[in-house]
Amino acid sequence: MTVVAGIDGCRGGWLMVRRSPERGSADFVIFEHWRDLPEADMIAVDMLIGLPESGERGCDRLARKLLGKRRSSVFLGLRRPLLDFADYPSANEWAKSDGAGLSKQAWYLLDKIREIDSAIKPDDQARIRETHPELAFLALKGAPLQQSKKSPDGIAERTELLEAAGFGRIQSWIDLLGGERALADDLLDACALALAAERMQRGEAMRLPDDPPRDAKGLAMEIWY
């Protein structure tokens, strides 16, 4: 039985939505550390895999171009040396010396990036692939979504797209979350990522760019959707 999964970072660690396309079943689980990653045949995760030593990743620029108005949801300028800093001021100072400062929002991603970066090896990317939820929703709708994922209209639109794609328990799952360890938008993003993983498993997903460069660890700097 094939199991595909989408993973989004959340307050409680990581939220995974698992789907079995053959059985038509799905569930979700929250786990605290990446080392506790549950098994799945194909995993789409909303976290950077592959980091440059300097500058920006081409895949992020391409994603921003596709998303238009929603482009700000793709962070630029996250570089591997930033993983070594213990506080924001010193990280931002180095980032500025390298050509572009670091936003506070991007700084808060570094713990999760550090966690996954220490675990992922190039061979793992055949099964664990970086994805972006806004691109995953673009694939479902055929166009970028315009509403924020945290707004009532944005949540409603995303829920409708996911239900049309085969998820039938979205609101009951949101009710179960309660908002303490994960929020509604975390769950919705993970669902969209699970659908992206399903497309990857079938060989139907898109990749940015077509021929991705590799970082110093040999990781492909790419985004799938």
pTM of the model: 0.95
* C-alpha to C-alpha distances, 70 to 194, 198, 225, nearest whole angstrom: 21, 24, 16
Q: How would residue 180 be classed by pLDDT, with cut points 50, 70 and 90?
A: confident
pLDDT at 24: 79
What is the rounded average pLDDT of the residues 140-145? 96
| pLDDT surpassing 80 at residue 50 | yes
Over residues 79-135, the pLDDT tens digits come to 999 999 999 999 999 999 999 999 999 999 999 999 999 999 999 999 999 999 999
What is the rounded average pLDDT of the residues 7-30? 93
Over residues 150-172, the pLDDT tens digits come to 999 999 999 999 999 999 889 99
Domain 1-76+126-225 has CATH 3.30.420: yes
Over residues 64-75, the pLDDT tens digits come to 999 987 777 899
Q: Where are the alpha helices (DSSP H) in the chain?
A: 58-67, 88-97, 104-107, 110-117, 133-141, 152-164, 170-177, 184-202
Would you list the DSSP string of 87-127?
SHHHHHHHHHHTTS---HHHHTTHHHHHHHHTT--GGGGGT
pLDDT at 39: 95
pLDDT at 168: 86
Counts for the chain of helices (H) and strands (E), in that order:
8, 7
pLDDT at 21: 82
Cα 69 to chain centroid, rounded: 18
pLDDT at 179: 85
| pLDDT surpassing 90 at residue 25 | no
Percent of the chain with pLDDT over 90: 91
pLDDT at 118: 97
**Residue 57, SS3 per DSSP:** coil
Q: How would residue 23 be classed by pLDDT, with cut points 50, 70 and 90?
A: confident
- Arithmetic mean of pLDDT over the chain: 95
pLDDT at 27: 94
Query: Is the Cβ–Cβ distance between 164 and 158 less than 8 Å?
Result: no
